[in-house]
Amino acid sequence: MKRLLGTIGITYLSVLAVVFYFNKTAVWVFAAGLIGVSAGIILKISRNKTRINPKIPNLVLTVSLTALAACISVFAYAGLFYYPVRDNYSDKEISISAYVCDKIQIKESTNVYTVKVCEVNGKKENFKMNITSVNDLMLEEFEYFDAVLYAEKSEEGYLMSRKIFLTSFFDIDSDTVKPSGEKYFSLYCAAAGVREAMENSLDTLLPEKTSSLCKAVLLGNKQSLKSDVSDDFEATGTTFLIVVSGLHLSIISAFVMRIMKGRVKSKLASGIALSAVTLCFAAVTGFTPSVVRSAVMAVLTYGSRILLRRTDGLNSLGAAAIVLTALNPFAVGDIGMILSFSATAGIILWAQKIEFYILSKIRISNRFIFGKVKSVISLASVSVAASLWIIPITTVAFHTISPFVVIASVFLEPIVSALLICAMLTAVFNLLPFVSFLAYPFALTAALLARLFLFIISFFASLPYSVVNSDKPYFYVWFLLSFLLAAVGYAVKAKGFYVRCGAVLSSVVLVFGWAVYSALGYGSVSLSVYNVGNGVTAAVKCGGNISFIACGGSEKSAYGILDDIYGSYSSVDSVIIPDDKLKYSRYIPQLLSQVDISNILLYDSSGSRVELLGKYDGISRNTFADNCSFTVNLNSKSSVDVVNTGSATYQYVKINGSTLLFAPSEADIADLPEKYRDADYLLVDSVPENSELLNCDSVIFSGLQSNFEEKYEEVKQISDTIYSTTNGTVEFVFGGG
């Protein structure tokens, strides 16, 4: 079978991704695989009678068996490695012996330590976990330590892809972390040291803003980027440009090949040299999946040149997929890897066709000018092909679409190529004692290119509708229709008339769907109560306005909440923090770093929370204390009465004629004025004292499954209608739709 390795590898990767991100489909995928195997066997047996092309049964069998293997590998890996760690150690206090296994990340006001766990409660173990602290735990990179901490299971795909199965959070100084002073050493430690030295070189020679961009482009260090720059990348959908990937490796390899051209004539020597450069770059950048994917493909290409054989792009891509996921099926949890494979497939399948189509429309007789134009079109074709193939992934993964991503990529990719080379030469030359002066001209060039890059990306991010929330029913209808039109056109090899009609029909469906959705939702207000584990996060949304009446819970839930609001809301009108406990306030730092907040109202009995906010962004915040009440207008159709009784803060929300009472865990309804005891909805994460005094039609319970099961009978006494966030976000729409 032609491209057998490509078929197996890409099918395996695709099925792993579907099962990982949509685990409820696993049974259906497995059943489809069984049906496919049966169909393939039947077709193979009957092909002589029916005269079926023998390639069809082979293809059906290959794809179906690969799909079954992918399902089995996910189940086996989860059962052998992930579930034992999650079930034995999550949601409880544990004692660990571990060492810091990667660079310590400083994110705004927190320190994040990725550690390799060697022992848990005296038992040998082998997994990773993330420890986040608002204070410096006095740990150094690769240092051994002992700690006692409260562990939570990790559910973020990127962390699971790196075998980080648990997380822990310290919000105060802790004496439970005890450094040993001893350090772990490996070749990766040496590579990490080189990475740090290169980062220090860039910091020394470049201004902070341009240095942070160069570190992101060259080494994949996105943590040092300013929040406004990160927002611009998100808004334009060009985050893939700073994900260290095959693009970066191919640029560096091409640069090294140009240096060796004419100097190294042996194909064996050049192949070994390029393979060594590839592996060194992969190590310095932390063996990210996207770089490993490119490294595998590159090594296969260099090896084939030595053996005088031609490589097939899709076969190499399939081989890379197998290498990356064979021992760790959870590797698909890194969306950057999926984007890398998707972009590479687009380049392999579409780039040359796009280039040929554009060149066929150009008539230039001068050979020199035509060559230069062809080079520009070739680079632009690669950018367009990669961008088009990642749009479906970003749409499904992030629920947003950036209409200008293709145009922005055409402008930015050439700059990235030049910036990457200049940043690399700046960092390397500055580390060499006798030629360090050569770093200065490259540093100047890198600074100018970085400023140009930041200007262009800021321009595209500032355009209206630079990012659109795609998590709408009409959008998925349009997307499916467009995919079917493209598939049919590709199958029948359609040309001009079909393409024009398809484009018009697709546009009409999108505009009509948007108009109908907007008309149905006009004037409506929605309430979203998120699944955040132990705590409460609830948002009131009206048009382009959003306000939070609490934003707490487990740390790992922050990403889902930010993804939900990002693309629809660039700012938050109000955030009300009813208690200084993290289960009602944990996401304040994340919200401040991602969106603009007009008003924060914070209960503060000691001043500690205000000091934390002041330290974070230097902006004073409004506070309220015990025994007070006031009203906040959330938007034109909803308001909230905030009532503090000294022991608890209650919020009585009025939304389009409906009412909601939010009572925190320490609430005593006997202290609450009677006019607030009648509500259509009661939002709680526990059962308040004297709850029999309430008159509520429905109860929304936010909290862990175990808490809900424990309190179910008591909640049932308040109302027979109960909604729980344990199965996901609970959402209500009030009026207008």
Mean pLDDT (10-residue bins), the chain, 737 residues: 78 90 82 86 72 76 91 92 91 91 75 91 92 84 91 82 87 72 83 86 90 84 74 75 67 72 70 76 74 73 62 79 87 83 83 84 78 80 81 75 80 85 88 87 93 90 73 76 76 71 82 74 79 88 84 72 67 81 77 72 66 47 78 85 89 90 91 92 92 92 86 90 88 72
Q: pLDDT tens-digit profile of 513-561? A: 877 776 666 567 889 999 888 889 999 988 778 889 888 887 666 666 7
Q: pLDDT tens-digit profile of 300-312? A: 766 666 555 666 7
Q: pLDDT tens-digit profile of 350-385? A: 888 888 888 887 877 777 777 777 877 887 888 788
- Mean per-residue pLDDT of the chain: 81
DSSP states of 365-403 as a string?
A: --HHHHHHHHHHHHHHHHHHHHHHHHHHHHHHHHSEE-T
Q: Residue 249: in which H helix or E strand, if any?
A: helix 246-260
| Paired sense of beta strands 468-469 and 695-701, if any | unpaired
Q: Could you tell me how many residues make up the chain?
A: 737
C-alpha–C-alpha distance, residues 273 and 254, integer Å: 12
C-alpha–C-alpha distance, residues 561 and 41, integer Å: 47
Residue 662's DSSP bridge partners are: 651, 683
**What's the chain's Rg over C-alpha atoms?**
28
Q: Residue 255: in which H helix or E strand, if any?
A: helix 246-260
C-alpha–C-alpha distance, residues 721 and 643, integer Å: 26
DSSP 692: G
CATH class of 90-185: mainly beta
C-alpha–C-alpha distance, residues 144 and 118, integer Å: 10
Is 525-734 CATH 3.40.50.970? no
Q: Hey, where are the domains in the chain?
A: 4-86, 90-185, 473-511, 525-734
Q: How far out from the chain centre does Cα 117 lie? A: 25
* Longest pairwise C-alpha distance within the chain: 89
Angle made by CA atoms 376, 379, 381, in degrees to the nearest 5: 105
Question: What angle in degrees, to the nearest 10, is found between the helix axes of 208-219 and 405-431?
Answer: 100
The pTM of this model reads: 0.70
Neighbours of 22 (CB within 10 A): 12
pLDDT of residue 229: 80
Angle made by CA atoms 404, 405, 409, in degrees to the nearest 5: 120
C-alpha–C-alpha distance, residues 250 and 252, integer Å: 5
pLDDT of residue 108: 55
Q: Residue 181: in which H helix or E strand, if any?
A: strand 177-183
Q: Residue 346: in which H helix or E strand, if any?
A: helix 335-346
pLDDT of residue 619: 47
